Amino acid sequence: MFDFYRVAAICPKVMVADASYNVDEILKKLEDAYQENVAVIAFPELAVTGYSCQDLFFQQALIRAAGEGLSRILSATSGHESAVIVGAPALVLGQLYNAAYVMLDGKLMGVTVKTFLPNYHEFYEKRWFNSADALPVKDIYLSELGITYDDEDVEDYSVPIGSHLIYDLDGKLKFGVEICEDLWAPIPPSSVMALAGAELIVNISASNELIAKRAYRRNLVTQTSASLVCDYLYVSAGAGESTQDVVFSGHGMIAENGTLLTESSGCIEEEGVLYADLDLELLRSERMKMKSFGDAADHYRGLTARSRVVTEASPQLPESDGTLRPLRKHPFIPGTKSKLKERCSDIFEMQVGGLVKRLQVTNGKPVVGVSGGMDSTLALLVSAQALQKMNRPASDLIAITMPAFGTSNRTYENSLELIRSLGTEPVIIDIKAACIQHLSDLGHDGETKDITYENTQARERTQILMDYANMHGGLVVGTGDLSELALGWCTYNGDQMAMYGVNGSIPKTLVRWMIDTVAETEIFPKSTGVLRDILDTPISPELLPPDENGQITQKTEDSVGPYELHDFFLYYTLRYGYAPDKINFLANRAFKDIYTPDVIMKWQTMFTKRFFSQQFKRSCMPDGVKVGSVAMSPRGDWRMPSDASVKEWLAMLEKESK
């Protein structure tokens, strides 16, 4: 479903050199994994015999037992569409190889052989095994590997054997296998396989435990998954291996494009199972956009030519519903308080740094229209901090508040208090009379609360900001955020326009936490109290009159829907290019306890329509600092024709709603 596939990294109990016992344990784990709808199941390096057999690998009894064990495992996979990867020795023309056997539905797809063998410290694999580079053949019969079939009517057959095999499961999932030390090489086989099309890399390993080695492995796996834009499954031998000189930990990890999806928790484990749901659409989207990935595939075509694709029809390859994937309601916001504070502090510094550079170039004074709402508050704080960084007086900050028809007492008083707490005096320009005159000039009755009535106020404010900046050598700092840009919830040539925007790549759900972080860290200690009240104020454009008590009546989220939903839609639309039906599926999972499917569908439909229809406002947005991977600058991050049709997107949503 939506290209979600579940994988398993399984560390079974092991008895060194007891293949019968080890296969029994593998089969127990295998049966459990089949119940979990798993597409790919991986066991550790040399799991059939145990990794630490040493010179026992030269014993024919062990090699024969390994072949018998592989035959049992192969038979057990019959009737199942899950790919199973298990480690065992391979005897090829009288020479031993450390190998991974890949099985599917009772058939051996191929044998991947380890290329880079450790020959240092406690590991002397070259004493027992040969590198894949020494393989004298490219195909081998099962009988030559000591594998037999239960069904005597089935004829012996040959399978590919080598180091750069890519297993293609009916075009649905492509994976490659490397073995332990292969990953540590300067150019590991996984690099070649990924450039040749492998989306999942499986590493079956037997890595001993040392102080700090676990962290090193984790960094290596996650970084490899990032540089190769792939999923990476790592499973290592457990504590049942020989402890003659070392101890093994059973370390397991599953990473995706630089993110660790899951990891075994114990430092030393005898056995364990890890499951994770991979999102192949995510990887395909990243690779499609990352042109350096395609360029690398072209550049290293000589290397990728070494890869060999092994195709096997698997029409019933198990798909997952993705429920094991971590899914946050607020994807722009880190999951922990400490990370959130760090993230917000870093973004604030980036905003400040961008504005400082622009002020240095223009030698201007920051001019901010202050409404008492969160967006203008954040822009004002950034401007004040930029002046501090430049050792310029707070009085250089030109903060203008412009009350009009919809201004409430609360936001008006908060704007004045905030401006003064930052060490400058507010410029107060009441625009009601100017707006009334303008509406009269248009022939508008001034009573009808239509779009002209509302936008007249927004454009009057922008005109004042621009002209006041001209009078005082200023630079108008834009206040609009990323969520407003996505929805087009701004007045064209009104609050949509500025000379430099500092909030343009910050979503509405994050703006709140940005201000909260500034208040908590007391960058401006005199402002803490008013910042807290601003955070408690409902989001509103304040373009319609307040009630008889001066309170806000026009609440943005009543009109356009919850910003937490829109930011969710925005993130998955821009970051990964997901189709509307997949985004809807994820939204219903993430918000199942908050919104009904009908409510989610309603607001997603609105988001989709506005996202297309309002592109013309984004096409001429001002310069601004980019702080995250999701941004909408027409000069780099998001280029879209203003007259594009939304028909196909809405059709998907309509189909999903039925």
Query: What 3 state SS string does 174-201 have?
Result: EEEEEEHHHHHCCCCHHHHHHHCCCCEE
d(CA 221, CA 12): 21
Q: Is the pLDDT of residue 52 over 80?
A: yes
Report the SS3 class of residue 86. strand
Reported as a pLDDT band with limits 50, 70 and 90, residue 306 is confident
Q: So what's the pLDDT on residue 156?
A: 92
Q: What is the DSSP string of 331-382?
A: TTS-SSHHHHHHHHHHHHHHHHHHHHHHHHHHTPEEEEE--SSHHHHHHHHH
**Cβ atoms of residues 242 and 208 within 8 Å:** no
Q: So what's the pLDDT on residue 554?
A: 67
Indicate which residue of 180, 230, 344, 435 is catalytic: 180
CA atoms within 13 A of residue 505's CA, in its CB half-sphere: 25
Q: So what's the pLDDT on residue 552?
A: 62
Calculate Rg over the CA atoms of the chain.
Answer: 31
Report the SS3 class of residue 470. helix
d(CA 110, CA 176): 11
d(CA 590, CA 319): 20
d(CA 491, CA 493): 6
Q: Is the pLDDT of residue 628 over 70?
A: yes
Write the pLDDT tens digit of every residue in 266-276. 777 778 999 99
Share of the chain above pLDDT 70, in %: 97
Q: Is the pLDDT of residue 422 over 70?
A: yes
Catalytic site includes residue 45: yes
d(CA 649, CA 658): 15
Q: What's the mean per-residue pLDDT of the chain?
A: 94
Place of tokens 């989207």: 285
Reported as a pLDDT band with limits 50, 70 and 90, residue 553 is low
pTM higher than the cut 0.95 = no
Closest to 258 (Cα-Cα) out of 235, 225, 234, 289: 225
Q: Which residues fall within 8 angstroms of residue 487, CB to CB, at 6 or more apart?
A: 560, 566, 607, 610, 611, 614
d(CA 227, CA 257): 8
Torsion of CA 382, 386, 392, 397, to 10 degrees: -30
Q: So what's the pLDDT on residue 257?
A: 97
Q: Which residues fall within 8 angstroms of residue 265, CB to CB, at 6 or more apart?
A: none
Q: Is the pLDDT of residue 151 over 80?
A: no
Which conformational region is residue 192 in: left (phi greater than 0), alpha (psi within -120 to 50 degrees), or beta? Answer: alpha
Catalytic site includes residue 114: yes
Place of tokens 């203003």: 642
Helix (H) or strand (E) holding 609: helix 597-613
Reported as a pLDDT band with limits 50, 70 and 90, residue 312 is confident
Q: Is the pLDDT of residue 640 over 70?
A: yes
Catalytic site includes residue 655: no
Q: Which long-range contacts (CB under 8 A, 24 or more apart) does 353-358 make?
A: 353/625, 354/500, 354/502, 354/624, 354/625, 355/382, 355/383, 355/386, 355/477, 355/500, 355/502, 355/625, 356/386, 356/389, 356/390, 358/475, 358/500, 358/623
Indicate which residue of 25, 45, 263, 417 is catalytic: 45
d(CA 110, CA 160): 5
Q: So what's the pLDDT on residue 205?
A: 96
Q: So what's the pLDDT on residue 219?
A: 97
Q: Which residues fall within 8 angstroms of residue 598, CB to CB, at 6 or more apart?
A: none
Reported as a pLDDT band with limits 50, 70 and 90, residue 124 is confident
Reported as a pLDDT band with limits 50, 70 and 90, residue 440 is very high
Indicate which residue of 29, 114, 174, 617 is catalytic: 114
Average pLDDT over residues 460-480: 97
Q: So what's the pLDDT on residue 180?
A: 96
Write the pLDDT tens digit of every residue in 576-627. 999 999 999 999 999 999 999 999 999 999 999 999 999 999 999 999 999 9
Q: So what's the pLDDT on residue 542?
A: 63
Q: So what's the pLDDT on residue 538?
A: 81
Strand bridging mode 95-104 / 83-92:
antiparallel
Write the pLDDT tens digit of every residue in 518-541. 999 999 999 999 999 999 988 776
Q: So what's the pLDDT on residue 627?
A: 94
In this predicted model, which residue has the larger pLDDT, 163 or 636?
A: 163
SS3 for 239-259, per residue? CCCCCCCCCECCCEEEEECCE
Q: How far apart, in Å, are the Cα atoms of 568 and each of 321, 330, 344, 508? A: 19, 6, 19, 11
In this predicted model, which residue has the larger pLDDT, 224 or 312?
A: 224
Q: So what's the pLDDT on residue 117?
A: 95
Write the pLDDT tens digit of every residue in 560-572. 899 999 999 999 9
